[in-house]
Structure 1
Amino acid sequence: MRLIVSTSERGPMFDGRARRAANEYVNRLERNLAEEGLNILKREMRAVFRNPTGYYESRCVVVDGNVISDSRVVYGPWLAGVGSRNFPVTKFKGYDHWIKTRHELNSRKRGIGERLLRRYTGRM
């Protein structure tokens, strides 16, 4: 008895489509997570700020598709409680809106990634 085995190199794994789909997935996931994080951050700011003017919230944006930034507003560190003028210099210890955002986004990221992956696995 003789058994001959042969293979061919065809399909998404060999012609680069799987790699492109994986790269597109990672880029899209980063954008989605940053946008979701910005939404959480703005919600937290509305919940904790006592006298909001709207300026700081308007300066918080997604930069380069995957970074949430406050556009380096000069009093941003003070609001977050990490500035040089926070406690013990003043009584104000800052808000924890960035910390809450990080924790909530970390708890949601797996579900966001799994839902998004379903769109890309068929192309791999």
Structure 2
Amino acid sequence: MGIEIRTTGPLFDGRAARAIAAYCDDAREEIAEYAETLVLNELGHVLRHPTGYYESRVETERLSADTSRVHDNGVVYGPWLEGVGSMNAPVTRFAGYSHWRRMKEVVQGQAPAMAQRILQRHLPGMR
């Protein structure tokens, strides 16, 4: 008596794993790009006398295979603009714009729906 088992399909030939990896990359990048766009748009609304320098320093950086970060490259007055610097209220009247914190909340609220839409594009590769 003998038993023969044949495994075929995307789960066994690597297609599903490749589709999942592509999905994760696309989701991470699209959500990070969305966050960067939101921050830049918000800065366009809140900055009273923009020089363009601070906005030019905002970028998305891939830290590892599964992590991207949107940041201002450590601009020295970035914490002051955000409202978390030592020179914000009560030291001065300027409380900051809270643009990073507010946009982070927006992205966290939108990310699950964005990830779901992105997943739909990758599902055919998992079949």
- From the superposition, tell whether residues 122 and 7 of structure 1 become closer, same or farther in structure 2 (CA, over 3 Å): farther
Taking structure 1 as the reference length, what is the TM-score of the superposition? 0.89
Segments of structure 1 that go 5 or more residues without pairing to the other structure are none
Q: Which residue number in structure 2 is paired with residue 9 of structure 1?
A: 7
Q: Partner of 1:86: helix, strand, or coil?
A: coil
* Pick aligned residue for 2:42 from 28, 39, 44: 44
**Paired position in structure 2 for 1:25:** 23
Q: Offset at 1:7?
A: 4.9
Q: Which residue among 32, 35, 47 is the counterpart of 1:34?
A: 32
- Asked if the contact 1:44–1:100 (Cα under 8 Å) also holds between the matched residues in 2, the reply is no
Equivalent pairs, count: 120
Contact 1:80 1:98 in 2 (8 A): yes
SS at match of 2:122: helix
1:95 to 94, 97, 100: 97
CA distance in 2, matches of 1:20, 1:113: 17
* More deviation, 25-34/63-72: 63-72
Query: Which protein is bigger by CA-based radius of gyration?
Result: 1
User: In the TM superposition, what is the alpha-carbon distance from 1:96 to its structure 2 partner?
Assistant: 1.3
User: Following superposition of structure 1 onto structure 2, how do residues 82-121 of structure 1 map, counting pairs within 5 Å?
Assistant: 82-121=84-123
- CA separation in 2, counterparts of 1:27 and 1:121? 14
Q: How far apart are residue 53 of structure 1 and its match? A: 1.0
1:81–1:95 contact (8 Å) kept in structure 2: yes
Q: For residue 84 of structure 1, give the secondary structure of its aligned residue in structure 2.
A: coil
Aligned residues with identical type, % of pairs:
40
Give the superposition deviation at 1:111: 2.0
Instruction: Report SS of the residue matched to 1:36.
Output: helix
Q: Kindly report the root-mean-square deviation, in angstroms, between the aligned alpha carbons of the 2 structures.
A: 1.6
Q: Deviations over 1:79-110 (max 9, x none)?
A: 00111111121111111111221121122112
